[in-house]
Amino acid sequence: MRKHRAAVVAAFLLGASLTARPAHAQVLPPVTARPGIQELTETHAEELAKALELRVYGTMTGNLHPEVQATITHWAAAVRDWEREPDAGAAPRLAEGVLFDCLGRMTGVRTLPLSIEENRPFFLDLADARPGRAVKAFDEALKLDPTMVEARFRADRIRASSDPDAARDLEQLAQDGSMPLLAYLAAGRAAPRWRKGR
């Protein structure tokens, strides 16, 4: 009887060991959840591929002529020194904003990191940060001098694609006859919004 019990226990343990899942075995999700997981995985993979493509693009851009790069470097140094002067006012902030605004629109052209900006591992990250740096400088200029319309226009122009208030402000500037040049530039930037019916 004892041998019979031992045989039953041994058979039970053997069966349990055969049906137990090894620690390294793959655990699959329910069949109903697999399509959603697959879609999420493919979307994530596409996002990673696009990010990698942009990084590669960032290393394949063109370069400025050394003389032009030297001019931009001197511009940045002059802005830095100007901002350090006591009672410099809003003008150097405007000059800094214009510098980063111009650099931010040089799509596909590599420039060296400036003395007044934080370097980034990838050039594309550095370039992407420049429009925001320009807006920050324009906002600082406007705090010091709220009547500086050029700073207002340039900040609005950068923000307009994602900020409805900035787009509306551009429309107002476009209708301001007291500054025809800025009104003309603002009208050109605001035109796409008008074509969409606002």
Residue-wise burial string across 179-189, b where 16 or more C-beta atoms lie within 10 A, e elsewhere: eeebbebbeeb
Q: What would the two tokens of residue 1 be?
A: 């009887």
Among candidate residues 61, 144, 155, 58, the one with its CA nearest the CA of residue 101: 155
DSSP secondary structure letter of residue 60: S
> What does each of the 198 residues of the chain score in pLDDT, given as a tens digit?
444 444 444 444 444 444 444 545 556 666 676 676 677 777 767 777 766 665 555 455 677 888 989 999 999 999 999 999 999 999 999 999 999 999 988 877 888 888 888 877 777 778 888 999 999 999 999 999 999 988 998 998 899 888 889 888 888 877 766 665 555 555 555 544 444 444
Detail the DSSP E strand segments found in 45-189. Answer: 62-63, 109-110
Q: Give the amino acid at 170.
A: L
3-state secondary structure of 82: helix
- Entry pTM: 0.61
Measured at the CA of 154, the angle between CA 100 and CA 59, to 5 degrees, comes to: 30
The C-alpha atoms of residue 126 and residue 154 are separated, in whole angstroms, by 20
User: Are β-strands 62-63 and 109-110 bridged in parallel, bridged antiparallel, or unpaired?
Assistant: parallel
63 sits in which H/E element: strand 62-63
Taking a C-beta distance cutoff of 8 angstroms, is the pair 93, 144 a contact?
Answer: yes
